C-alpha cells in the first residue's frame, strides 16, 4: 500500500504565509476603502455646503439668475413658494422639479437617494434645503453623486494592486527564507542517509546561521558518537565472547579427541571431570551473557521495599566462605529494589573479593543522607587507580587475575554495575588503606509508610 505523500514543510509554511498575508491585506484594504469612502462622502458634503453658501444669498438678496453655475456638484434646482422652477443649472433648464420631498417642520435639510431624479440618470444623492422668504418657503435641491462605501474605483484598484504586490513579495520572501533555512536540514538528512554501519566515523555538517539547526546537528553528531562507541563496544564484546566461548570448547575438544585416539591410555574419570569443568564454564558464560542482554534491554525490575541489612545478613549466613567475613551492618537501611538482582550484585562482589583477599573480607551497610551505601572490601593486593574503571569492562581480567581459575568469566563486575544503574544507583571502586573497596550506592527508601502497612 502506497503511503500518502505528505506536503513539505517549506510548501506548507509558504502557503500559510501567503494566506496570512491575504487575510491581513483584506482586513487593511477594507479599512482603507472604508476610510476612502468616508473621505469621498465628506468631500461631497463639503461641495454641497459650498453650493448652498453660493445659492442661498442669491435667493434672499437677489437677483436670482435663471441659470445657475454648477460648481463642484452635479446639479442645482430652486423652486419658489408655489413649487415652480425658479432657477437651475444648465442640465435642468426647462425640466420639471427633480424631487418633491422636503425637510420636516423641525429641520431645514433633508437628504435622500433618488433613482433616478427627473431630468437626470442613475442614482444620485439629493439634498433639499428650506429657504424662508416673505412670500413663503422656497426649496433648494442640490444633486451630488452617490458615494459608495469604498470610495471610488480608483481607490479599489489602488488597494487591490498594493495588496497583490505585498502578498507576492511576502510569499516570495517566505519561500526564499525557508529554502535557505531548510538547506542545513537537507544537508543533515542527506549525510545521515549515506551513513552506514561501515562508516560510522562520518558526521553531519554543523550550520552556523541558525542556533536551532546548529544544536540539531550537534545532537545528531553526539548521537553518532555514542552509536560509534556502542558499535565498537559491541564488536569488542562479540570478539571477546567468541574467544571466551571458543577457549573451553577447544579444551574440551582436545580432551575428547585425545580420548578417542588413545582410549586404552585415557584416564576417563579425569577426562570427564575436565570436560565437565569446561561445560560449567560455558554454562556460566552463557548465563552471564544472557543476564547482560536482559540488562541492556532494560527489562522491568520487580521492585519491593527491602531492608538491605537484612538481605546481606541472610546471604552471608547462607554461604560458606574460605576467607573470614567481617560484618559492619546498620540496624536497618531500606531501599526499593529487585531483591534477586541486588543479591546477584552482593554475590558477585563477594566472589570477586574472595578471589583476591588475603585473609579477610569486610561487608558494611550504612545510610548516608538520601542514599544507602553497601561496601565490600578485601585485604588483597588492591586495584591501581588508573585501572578502577577498567575492571567494570566486560571480559576484563587484570594482570594479577589472568588465570581462569581466579578470573571467572570476566562478566561479574560488569553485571553488578549494570544492575546498579538499573536501580538509579552507582557502583565504584574507592580508595582503601589496603586491598580493593567496592562501593554500591542506592537511593534510600522511606520505610515509615512501609512499616505502617506491614
Question: Which CATH number, 3.40.50.800, 3.30.565.10, 2.60.200.20, 3.30.70.1140, labels domain 300-453?
Answer: 3.30.565.10
Average pLDDT over residues 323-338: 91
Q: Which three cell numbers stand for residue 133?
A: 422668504
What pLDDT sits at residue 4? Answer: 57
Residue predicted with more confidence, 100 or 403: 100
CA distances from 179 to 13, 21, 66, 172 (A): 11, 19, 73, 10
| Domain boundaries 195-298, corresponding CATH code | 1.10.287
What pLDDT sits at residue 408? Answer: 63
Q: What is the pLDDT of residues 171-214, one digit of tens each?
A: 999 888 888 888 888 888 888 888 877 777 888 888 887 788 88
Q: How many CA atoms lie within 13 A of 241 on its CB side?
A: 18
Q: Is the omega angle on the peptide bond into residue 50 within 30 degrees of 0, that is, cis? A: no
* Band (371; pLDDT cuts 50, 70, 90): very high
- pLDDT at residue 450 is higher than 70: no
Q: Look up residue 7 and give its DSSP letter.
A: P
Q: What are phi and psi of 136, to 5 degrees?
A: 145, -170
* Band (373; pLDDT cuts 50, 70, 90): very high
Residue predicted with more confidence, 89 or 300: 89
Average pLDDT over residues 305-330: 90
The DSSP secondary structure of 194-223, one letter per residue, reads: H--GGGTT------SS-HHHHHHHHHHHHH
Q: Alpha-carbon distance 231 to 370, whole Å? A: 36
Q: What is the pLDDT of residues 274-301, one digit of tens each?
A: 888 888 878 877 877 777 777 776 777 8
- pLDDT at residue 428 is higher than 90: yes
Element (H, E) at 184: helix 153-194
Cα three-residue angle 279-282-284, rounded to 5 degrees: 110
What pLDDT sits at residue 405? Answer: 46
Parts of the chain belonging to CATH 3.30.565.10: 300-453
Average pLDDT over residues 333-339: 92
- pLDDT at residue 2 is higher than 60: no
Q: How many CA atoms lie within 13 A of 237 on its CB side?
A: 17
Q: Alpha-carbon distance 317 to 117, whole Å? A: 119
- pLDDT at residue 29 is higher than 80: yes
- pLDDT at residue 451 is higher than 60: no
- pLDDT at residue 402 is higher than 80: no
Alpha helices in 297-425 (DSSP H): 308-318, 339-356, 404-407, 412-422
Number of CB atoms found within 10 A of residue 196's CB:
8
Q: What is the pLDDT of residues 44-67, one digit of tens each?
A: 889 889 988 988 888 888 788 888
* Band (447; pLDDT cuts 50, 70, 90): low
What pLDDT sits at residue 106? Answer: 86
Q: Which three cell numbers stand for residue 189?
A: 538528512
Q: Which three cell numbers stand for residue 112?
A: 435622500
Average pLDDT over residues 93-116: 87
What pLDDT sits at residue 6? Answer: 64
Q: Look up residue 71 and give its DSSP letter.
A: T
What pLDDT sits at residue 398? Answer: 60
Q: Which of 246-255, 344-353, 390-399 has the lowest mean pLDDT?
A: 390-399
| Class for the domain spanning 11-153 | alpha beta
What pLDDT sits at residue 449? Answer: 53
Parts of the chain belonging to CATH 3.30.450.20: 11-153
What pLDDT sits at residue 404? Answer: 44
What pLDDT sits at residue 78? Answer: 92
What pLDDT sits at residue 452? Answer: 46
Amino acid at each position: 500500500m502506497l503511503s500518502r505523500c505528505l506536503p513539505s514543510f517549506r510548501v506548507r509554511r509558504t502557503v500559510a504565509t501567503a494566506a496570512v498575508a491575504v487575510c491581513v491585506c483584506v482586513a487593511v484594504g477594507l479599512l482603507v476603502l472604508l476610510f476612502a469612502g468616508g473621505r469621498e462622502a465628506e468631500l461631497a458634503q463639503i461641495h454641497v455646503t459650498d453650493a448652498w453658501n453660493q445659492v442661498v444669498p442669491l435667493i434672499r438678496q437677489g437677483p436670482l439668475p435663471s441659470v445657475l453655475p454648477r460648481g463642484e456638484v452635479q446639479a442645482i434646482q430652486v423652486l419658489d413658494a408655489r413649487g415652480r422652477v425658479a432657477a437651475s443649472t444648465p442640465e435642468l433648464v426647462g425640466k420639471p422639479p427633480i424631487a418633491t420631498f422636503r425637510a420636516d417642520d423641525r429641520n431645514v435639510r433633508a437628504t435622500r437617494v433618488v433613482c433616478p431624479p427627473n431630468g437626470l440618470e442613475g442614482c444620485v444623492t439629493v439634498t433639499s434645503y428650506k429657504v424662508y422668504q416673505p412670500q413663503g418657503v422656497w426649496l433648494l435641491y442640490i444633486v451630488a453623486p452617490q458615494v459608495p462605501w469604498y470610495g471610488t474605483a480608483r481607490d479599489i484598484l489602488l488597494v487591490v494592486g498594493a495588496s497583490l504586490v505585498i502578498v507576492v513579495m511576502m510569499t516570495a520572501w517566505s519561500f526564499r527564507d525557508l529554502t535557505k533555512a531548510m538547506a542545513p536540514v537537507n544537508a543533515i538528512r542527506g549525510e545521515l542517509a549515506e551513513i552506514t554501519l561501515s562508516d560510522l566515523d562520518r558526521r553531519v555538517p554543523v550550520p552556523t546561521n541558525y542556533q536551532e539547526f546548529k544544536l540539531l546537528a550537534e545532537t545528531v553528531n553526539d548521537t553518532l558518537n555514542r552509536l560509534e562507541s556502542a558499535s565498537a563496544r559491541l564488536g569488542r564484546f562479540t570478539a571477546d565472547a567468541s574467544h571466551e566461548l571458543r577457549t573451553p570448547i577447544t579444551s574440551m575438544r582436545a580432551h575428547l579427541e585425545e580420548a578417542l585416539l588413545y582410549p586404552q591410555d585415557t584416564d576417563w574419570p579425569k577426562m570427564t571431570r575436565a570436560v565437565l569443568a569446561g561445560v560449567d564454564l560455558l554454562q556460566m558464560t552463557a548465563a552471564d551473557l544472557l543476564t547482560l542482554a536482559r540488562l541492556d534491554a532494560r527489562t522491568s525490575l520487580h521492585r519491593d521495599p527491602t531492608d538491605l541489612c537484612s538481605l546481606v545478613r541472610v546471604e552471608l549466613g547462607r554461604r560458606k566462605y574460605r576467607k573470614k567475613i567481617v560484618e559492619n551492618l546498620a540496624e536497618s537501611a531500606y531501599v526499593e529494589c529487585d531483591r534477586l538482582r541486588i543479591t546477584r550484585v552482593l554475590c558477585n562482589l563477594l566472589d570477586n573479593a574472595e578471589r583476591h583477599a588475603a585473609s579477610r573480607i569486610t561487608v558494611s551497610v550504612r545510610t548516608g543522607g538520601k542514599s544507602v551505601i553497601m561496601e565490600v572490601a578485601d585485604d588483597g593486593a588492591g586495584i591501581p587507580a588508573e585501572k578502577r574503571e577498567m575492571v567494570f569492562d566486560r571480559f576484563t581480567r587484570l594482570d594479577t587475575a589472568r588465570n581462569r581459575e581466579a578470573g571467572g568469566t570476566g562478566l561479574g563486575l560488569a553485571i553488578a554495575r549494570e544492575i546498579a544503574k538499573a536501580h538509579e544507583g552507582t557502583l565504584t571502586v574507592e580508595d582503601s588503606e589496603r586491598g580493593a573497596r567496592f562501593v554500591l550506592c542506592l537511593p534510600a527508601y522511606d520505610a515509615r509508610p512501609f512499616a505502617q502497612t506491614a
